Chain A
Amino acid sequence: MRLVLLGTFIFLYAPIVTLVAFSFNDSRRNIVWRGFTFKYYEKAWNNSSLVESFANSLTIAFLSTLISVVLGTMTAILLWRFRFPGKAGYEGAMSLPIVIPEICMGVAMMAFFSRIGWPSGLPWPLNLGAITIAHISFSFPFVTVVVRARLASFNRELEEAAKDLGAGEWHAFKDILIPHMRPGLIAGALLAFTLSLDDFVITFFTSGPDTITFPIKIYSMIRFSVTPEVNAASAVLIAITLVMTTFALWFQSRSRGQSGGAAHG
């Protein structure tokens, strides 16, 4: 059993670990180890189009996260709190962006923005609008799932008590519900951020020549050649994603742990 686990982890991690390791390798060719160096990180850092694409990606991820969290939380509360006719269908439609193949969503976005004549050549950061909108569309249902899971552990009596004591809808929402949702909101936000930062396929169809994101740039570099510079750029992205994901999972498990503790206590 142990062997199976070990073998799997080697299968899963060896490629990523070697990629990161060889980004520090002082040799053009990727094969032999020639000593430790940061020069490919320097080179990547001095590659202005790479840095620009990275800034684009961060901007998109930031905006997309902000709006996704708001929309996703609204949906979560709606689905958690209310019964309404056609709810099953509504839930189905809301989970569509999660289940449909990325390629289908990508081409849909491409066709949509060209059909409505989305203006191109806008100044930065407005030119990133199309990509950001597409990212929000596939991110916010994920936020809904995470926040709704957190809401399941909410004790409605707290809210009722607050209302009995004279708090209005808004106050009960702001002072009772939001604090309870916080771990879920943070986990959802981190999830939305990583989804946006990582997305390749859907962005591939919505980006134009002057709106290159980091994954798209790396893709074109990979097509061109396999160099340690690409390794360095990839290693940076891996590091960011790993940190974000670890935090997200930590917050999620903490929010679950709290509710579990409450149930036991």
Chain B
Amino acid sequence: MDYWRKSPKVFWSFGIPPTIWLFAFFLAPLFLVWGLSFGEKQGIIEVAITGTLENYSRAVQPLYLQIFLKSFWYAGLTTFFCLVISFPIALAITFAPERWKPILLLLVILPFWTNLLIRTYALIAVLRTNGYLNDLLELIWLSADSGLRILGLGDWNLFGEKFNRFELLYNNFAVVYGLVYVHLPFMVLPLYAALDRMDRSYIEASLDLGAGQWRTFCSVIVPLAFPGIISGVIITFIPALGSYLTPDLLGGTDSQMIANVIERQFKSANDWPFGAALSFLLMYLTFFALAVRALLTRHNEKGLR
């Protein structure tokens, strides 16, 4: 690597255009929103930046605090389910034949690259009351019921009079289901990366020395995969926390997350300063999560040395 003074002409000609772009079309908009968050609404669109903290104090009122907490809770649940589902997947890919690994990984990543909106829409078709999941459940119910009839137990209606379709859509269940569906690859990849680097002989040693499968898993595999777990948890948690589309399309009236509230402030409620304050609070939370991750990985690396 060269010190920049070695060829300043090259340095500046490569450095200036992207830097200008970043400042003009990314940092300036962010800075503007940051400014707005200290502003007061004066007309329909006029905002005077007065340095007031009013917007932030409104944001920590119970009503909005509750939405923050709910977003945290959803993102946390999502992360938890993703972790529980992803660990076996990542293990299965790690121990799959070498030839299959790239294909399996590709299969995990591909849905991630199909449009988020379309995946969410696909879930609507699966989950709605007349959707495929309910069809499937009904089919199972009907066959179980006719099975019982054959056995001569039909009159007892063991499974109830008739199949009641579940309300799976437009509620909190649908939101968490959708978030898990969307964020699964975020968890699988870092876990796989960590597990694949792991030295297999540790596992063999543990099994040879008489530890059971479960014990080996808990006290050998999990600690070795710890950096991957942290990465996965944070990488899943951050986008889940700021999700807009999933709660918007799959959620009911009471499953609003913080991003939906921000959107409402900027669009229908037209209260930009308050929306700006909320969006900066969300951003601070994101930075906090990233900082935690950096801290934990550094700590972990030190521990290994």
Q: Is B98 an interface residue (CB 8 A)?
A: no
* A8-B85, A112-B28 known; A230 vs B121 contact (CB < 8 Å): yes
Q: Which residues of A contact B109 (CB under 8 A)?
A: 249
Which single residue of chain A is at the shortest CB-CB distance from B94? A1
Q: How many B residues have CB within 8 A of the partner chain?
A: 79
B94 CB to nearest chain A CB (Å): 10
Q: Is A165 an interface residue (CB 8 A)?
A: no
Q: Which residues of B contact A93 (CB under 8 A)?
A: 22, 27
Residues of B229-255 whose CB lies within 8 A of A? 238-239, 241-242, 244-245, 249
Roughly how many angstroms separate A9 CA and B181 CA in the complex, as a whole number? 11
Instruction: Check B121 against A194 for contact (C-beta < 8 Å).
Output: no
Which single residue of chain B is at the shortest CB-CB distance from A141? B22
Residues of B76-120 whose CB lies within 8 A of A? 85, 88-89, 91-93, 95, 102, 104, 106-111, 113-119
Q: Is B304 an interface residue (CB 8 A)?
A: no
B297 CB to nearest chain A CB (Å): 15
Roughly how many angstroms separate A94 CA and B23 CA in the complex, as a whole number? 10
B79 CB to nearest chain A CB (Å): 15
Instruction: Check B272 against A111 for contact (C-beta < 8 Å).
Output: yes
- Residue of B1, B2, B85, B262 ringed by the most chain A CB atoms within 10 A: B1
Q: Is B206 an interface residue (CB 8 A)?
A: no
Q: Is A84 an interface residue (CB 8 A)?
A: yes
Q: Which residues of B contact A158 (CB under 8 A)?
A: none
Instruction: Check B283 against A101 for contact (C-beta < 8 Å).
Output: yes
Instruction: Check A5 against B4 for contact (C-beta < 8 Å).
Output: no
* A16-B111, A103-B282 known; A112 vs B118 contact (CB < 8 Å): no
Q: Is B15 an interface residue (CB 8 A)?
A: yes
Q: Is B195 an interface residue (CB 8 A)?
A: no
Interface footprint category on A: 35 or more
Q: Which residues of A contact B130 (CB under 8 A)?
A: 29-31
Roughly how many angstroms separate A81 CA and B278 CA in the complex, as a whole number? 39
A213 CB to nearest chain B CB (Å): 11
Instruction: Check B11 against A82 for contact (C-beta < 8 Å).
Output: yes
- Residue of A90, A96, A253 ringed by the most chain B CB atoms within 10 A: A96
Which single residue of chain B is at the shortest CB-CB distance from A198? B115
Shortest beta-carbon contacts, A-B, top 8: A101-B242, A112-B29, A15-B122, A108-B29, A84-B4, A103-B259, A245-B113, A1-B92
Residues of chain A at the chain B interface (Cβ within 8 Å): 1-2, 4-5, 8-9, 11-16, 18-19, 22, 29-31, 70-72, 74-75, 77-78, 80-84, 90, 93-94, 96-97, 99-105, 107-112, 114-115, 133-134, 136-137, 140, 169, 194, 197-198, 200-201, 205, 215, 218-219, 222, 226, 230, 234, 237-238, 241-242, 245-246, 249, 253
